[in-house]
Amino acid sequence: MNTHVDSPILIVDDEPANLRLLDKLLSSQGYTRLICVEDPREVLSHYNRQRPDLILLDINMPYLDGYQVMEQLYALNDPLLPPIVILTAEHGREHLIKALTAGARDYLNKPFDRSELLMRVRNLLDARRAYRSTHEQKAILEEMVRLRTEEVVATRLQIVQRLGRAAEYRDNETGQHILRMSHAAALLAGRLGWNDDEVELMLHASPMHDIGKIGIPDAVLLKPGKLDDTEWKIMKLHPVIGAELLAGDDSSLLRMAREIALGHHEKWDGSGYPDGLAGENIPQSARIAAVADVFDALTSARPYKKAWGIEQAVAYMQEQSGRHFDPRILAVFLSSLDDILRIRKRYREPD
């Protein structure tokens, strides 16, 4: 039983007699979807409409020869381009090699043996069906992998965001600080030339900048007054604690989160902690996070201080350009202040 009778077959030949012969031969075997094309310039339009499973193609034709037709078909970059069988009166090894090199899957000389042609058509349609099935299965598997990967990434993202908020809740009742800070950091990263993927990483990695606070005792973290020397040494451990918590994972998200956690208290002039890094030795992600973090911290109330006004905070940060902050990043911050204030308003503390 012929299981391919419903397979579309495109037949291209400039001789009407040859088209009638092939149509009759294939119809006699039950093939019902035969597309006969006399003008090779019409091949692409028929191909796009009918999506054939097999193409029978002549070589010597006016306007476009068979090689040019194959060139047009392969230029479509269709991953499911069907097999092409050359049917030609041209004899000689050079024609065979040229046709196969151009992309033909099979080659028959006219006049052809009818039984041989029918067997080759059936075999190629068998191969076509197997290839299509494999391609579809591959697409299904790729989609399953994509969905599963998205699920894993989303789960990881939720976990790290909740960890960031858990740390923030220890000295900020609402955790809104990390929303303001992370969106401001992402804004600055974009305006410094980071691409969309990198900006997305900044948005999701920066909320973990203070995750090391989990390891700081309440007596130090929530002390309403100034810390003494011993307490300050303890407080300065939180970047290292955060980096240790985020270590050991090779995902780009956690690598950047660790970079920010460890470096966001470093200063441009080298007077920061924990490593006293200076200038561009501080990762840019940490330098960006520092600007966004300090501005929001200055303008937010904490157990140990009152909120500063916007003008006061901006004036202080301008003074710290080249000292605490990377001058280039601070300049971008100042030029983006209106947008950062809109972020601040969007994620303001609840009444």
| The predicted structure's pLDDT at residue 330 | 97
62 and 108 together in one domain? yes
Segments of the chain scoring below 70 in pLDDT: 1-3, 153, 156-157, 160-161, 165, 168-175, 303-304, 351
Q: How many residues make up the chain in this entry?
A: 351
Looking at the domain assignment, is residue 69 inside a domain?
Answer: yes
Flag whether 129 is in a domain: yes
Q: What is the pLDDT of residue 144?
A: 86
List the CATH number of the domain containing 88. 3.40.50.2300
Assess if residue 330 is contained within a domain. yes
Residues in CB range of 135: below 8 A, 6 or more apart:
79, 80
The distance in angstroms from the start CA to the end CA of the chain is: 78
Is residue 125 located within the same domain as residue 174? no
Q: Do 30 and 100 belong to one domain?
A: yes
Q: Are residues 136 and 176 in the same domain?
A: no
Whether 182 and 127 map to the same domain: the answer is: no
- In a shared domain, residues 53 and 200: no
The two three-digit tokens of residue 189, written as one number: 């990263």
- Domain range for residue 327? 169-346
* 51 and 194 together in one domain: no
Give the C-alpha separation, 335 to 188, whole Å. 10
The CATH number that applies at residue 266 is 1.10.3210.10
Q: Cα 310 to the chain's mean position, in Å?
A: 38
Structural domain tally of the chain? 2
Distances (CA, A) of 305 to 172, 199, 225: 12, 31, 8
Q: Give domain status of residue 70, yes or no.
A: yes
Residues 185, 329, single domain; the answer is: yes
Q: Taking every pair of C-alpha atoms in the chain, what is the biggest distance, in angstroms?
A: 101
Per-residue pLDDT tens digits for 229-250: 999 999 999 999 999 988 887 7
* pLDDT computed for residue 1 by the predictor: 55
From 100, 121, 141, the end of a domain falls on: 141
C-beta separation of 87 from 108 below 8 A: yes
231 Cα distance to chain centroid? 45
Asked if 221 contacts 213 with a C-beta cutoff of 8 angstroms, the reply is yes
Does one domain contain both 92 and 17? Answer: yes
Residue 157 is assigned to a structural domain of this protein: no
The reply to whether 184 falls in a domain is yes
Does some domain include residue 147? no
Phi first, then psi: what are they for 36, rounded to 5°? -100, 125
Are 29 and 121 contained in the same domain?
Answer: yes
Q: What's residue 262's pLDDT?
A: 96
CB 293 within 8 A of CB 349: no
Identity of residue 280: E
- pTM exceeding 0.85: no
Same domain, 178 and 120: no
Last residue of a domain, one of 101, 126, 141: 141
55 inside domain = yes
Q: Say how many CA atoms lie within 13 Å of 288 toward its Cβ.
A: 29
- Residues 178 and 109 placed together within one structural domain of the fold: no
Which pLDDT belongs to residue 338?
96
Cβ(327)–Cβ(268) below 8 Å: yes
